[in-house]
Amino acid sequence: MRILLVEDETLLAETVRRGLTNEGFIVEVVHDGVSGLWAATENPYDVILLDLMLPMKNGYDVLKELRERMIWTPVMMLTAKDGEYDQTDAFDLGADDYLTKPFSFLVLVARLRALIRRGAPERPVVMELGTLRLDPMNRSVHRGESAIALTAREYGLLQFLMRRHDQVVSKAEILDNVWDPAFEGGDNVVEVYVGYLRRKIDAPFNLSTLTTVRGMGYLLGADREATHQSNPCIDFSGH
């Protein structure tokens, strides 16, 4: 299992390298963003450990360029910056995990192994499905050239559905991924917000891309001209 560690604190980098080597990882260490970007582009790794505050090119820029180059190696950010906006920016740019300094070495190893098991699925920074485009960095949504204004919850729902496009997702999955874990309401709220979303991403454009799969959940697919149904529904029961 090959790890690229991009960290400018030489003592910390050496400590992490030794620890991971003892755990059976092969670790390559570089100390600046330019070298990190070059190594990640030229060599295959199972995970990249990337500091945010780096000389020559910061971690945000390294991560952004990696994803723009279609390099989907899982990236864990290692940083002393623990603000929620710092973490949000990192995840929006395509980070897979975020660990703040100082950190537990045992936790680091466990999270590394989890990232390696997950693999490196493609996840473009800007998500596109037909004429629908969602840009997480700018938190913007467009259908063709038309901007679509969404509430925070509608945006979160659309982002989840676009990541799982062409797959049927259940109400329970949507609640788990879009709503706060402390939410105590029923799953009917999902149906309500799916309706809100349809009225914004489909109805004005005479499209039917967000459909209900009876008894199973919801499916977001490619552009399809709408019928006269007010609540598009697919029946997989065979009736």
pLDDT in tens, 83-122: 666 677 788 778 888 888 888 888 889 888 888 877 766 6
3-state secondary structure of 213: strand
Q: What is the DSSP letter of 203?
A: G
Q: What b/e readout covers 141-163, taking b as 16+ CB neighbours within 10 angstroms?
A: bebeeeebebeeebbbbbbbbbe
Q: Above pLDDT 90, what percent of the chain?
A: 41
Per residue in 201-212, pLDDT tens? 999 999 999 999
Rounded alpha-carbon distances, angstroms, from residue 127 to 32, 94, 152, 163, 170: 29, 11, 17, 8, 21
Q: Is the dihedral of CA 64, 120, 181, 152 positive or negative?
A: positive
- The number of C-alpha atoms within 13 Å of 211 and in the hemisphere containing its C-beta is 23
Element holding 127 (H helix, E strand): strand 127-129
On whether the pTM is more than 0.85, the answer is no
| Structure tokens that stand for 142 in this block | 């467009």
